Structure 1
Amino acid sequence: MTKNQRLVYIALLASQAVIIGLIERSIPSPFAIAPGAKLGFANIITVMAIYTLSTADAGKVVGTRLVLTALLGGTISTFMYSASGAILSFIGMSIVHKLGPSRVSIIGVSITGAFLHNVGQLLIASWIAQTWSILLYLPVLTFVAILSGIAVGVAANYLLTYVEKLHYYKYLRESS
């Protein structure tokens, strides 16, 4: 795997995540109990990046997605919320993924990411509002995170089985 091929793969993942994120942003929240909550389908791509790339390269996918999504349809405040959630989520998912598949499944990694994304966003909201009472919303968002984490994990697992059949991703991890 050449450096250029790896960069193209990173760019493809990032562009897919941006498109999914922009589409999802235009869909109303499906959760009546948690206004503004989204399923986080762009995280399917983040999970795929974590499982098929090195941590540094997966971080490039997440960073590129954050910047491009903000530039294409966001504001400074949406960038702050997205970045805090995505960075905390990525760090947590990377750590949990390193525990190995015998300890944590891809669905567990995904649920961890969904939960930490909510924590990151609530911490920024608490900082902006200058009150910790916003964290009282965490139990409701945790329930939503578990549901969306399962959905994202199942979808990512399904995709990963097809990517593994290509034997392409092994070269990506080795060349990083």
Structure 2
Amino acid sequence: MLQSMTKNQKIVYIALLAAQAVVIGLVERAIPFPFTFAPGAKLGLANLVTLLAIYTLPFKDSFMVVAIRLILNTLLGGTLSTFMIGFSGALFSYFGMFLIKNLGGSKVSTIGVSTAGGILHNIGQLVAVSLLYHSWSFMVYLPIISFIGVFSGFAIGICATFLMERIQLLRQFKMEQMTKQKELKS
């Protein structure tokens, strides 16, 4: 029988996830991305942490991880416009992944949830850019960055599945979250 996490353990876990997401985001920002045909395109590796949070924490706590990541990455080198674009992409992605995971249940794998999140992140960002610059012509990039989103989401889903199967702490939080969800449905 798994022992339930204490409030302090959960707070530390949330802080660790947020810190990892910030570091991954900063490292990714420093790496030049080879796809110059899609300005601003990147792999979205910090979404690995978002996916882990969705699978191992309740809604409020997993959303807190995403919010902390966005705020800290903006404070550590972003601008207001990058925050708005990132926030829009993160919201579309987060809520989409959360809904798909919870409504799809065992019919949708972690890889499927992550792939949908990659596409939704790109849609959210393009909507934000279009609204910021008052032009829907930016949507022309949707097919290109959707392909990148599918590829990235698939790879991130594989990584998340691997990590949740092999890291004891992630398994423990995931099992606790699944138990709580089953209790709520009963």
TM-score (structure 1 length as normaliser): 0.92
Q: Which residue number in structure 2 is paired with residue 40 of structure 1?
A: 44
Does residue 5 (structure 1) correspond to residue 9 (structure 2)? The answer is yes
> Is 1:131 the equivalent of 2:117?
no
What is the CA–CA distance in structure 2 between the aligned matches of 1:95 and 1:166, rounded to whole Å?
21
Shift of the alpha carbon at 1:99? 2.7
Deviation at 1:166, TM superposition (A): 6.5
Q: How big is each residue's C-alpha offset from its partner over 1:3-31, in whole Å with a ceiling of 9 and x where there is no partner? A: 11101100000000000000000001132
Report if the CA contact (8 A) 1:34-1:144 is conserved: no
Aligned-residue identity in percent: 51
Higher relative contact order (CA closer than 8 Å, sequence separation 6+):
1
Aligned to 2:120: 116
- Structure 1's unaligned 5+ residue stretches are none
CA offsets per residue over residues 111-158 of structure 1, 9 Å max, x none? 111111111110111111111121121111111111111111111111
Name the structure 2 match of 1:83.
87
Aligned in 2, Cα 1:69/1:152: closer, same or farther, shift over 3 Å? same
The one-letter code of the counterpart of 2:32 is P
Question: Retained in 1: the 8 A contact 2:38–2:144?
Answer: yes
- Bigger shift: residues 134-143 or 156-165: 156-165
Residue type at the aligned position of 1:17? A
Equivalent pairs counted in the alignment come to: 176
Give me the whole-angstrom Cα distance separating, in 2, the residues matched to 1:167 and 1:113.
22
TM-score relative to the length of structure 2: 0.88
The CA distance in 2 between the partners of 1:15 and 1:140, in whole Å, is 30
Work out whether 1:24 is the aligned partner of 2:28: yes
User: Is 1:152 equivalent to 2:156 in the alignment?
Assistant: yes
How large is the RMSD of aligned CA atoms in angstroms? 1.9
Match for residue 107 of structure 2? 103
Name the aligned partner's letter for residue 67 of structure 1. Answer: I
Whether the aligned pair in 2 keeps the contact of 1:22 and 1:69 (CA below 8 Å) is yes
Contact 1:118 1:142 in 2 (8 A): yes
> Where do 5+ consecutive residues of structure 2 fail to align?
182-186
Where 2:107 maps in the other structure, the secondary structure is coil
Aligned to 2:184: none
CA shift, 1:167, in A, is 4.4
Q: Is the 8 A contact 1:112 1:149 kept in 2?
A: yes
Residue 50, structure 1, aligned to residue 59, structure 2: no
Distance in 1, matches of 2:139 and 2:87, equals 18
User: Do 1:53 and 1:173's aligned partners in 2 also have CA atoms closer than 8 Å?
Assistant: no
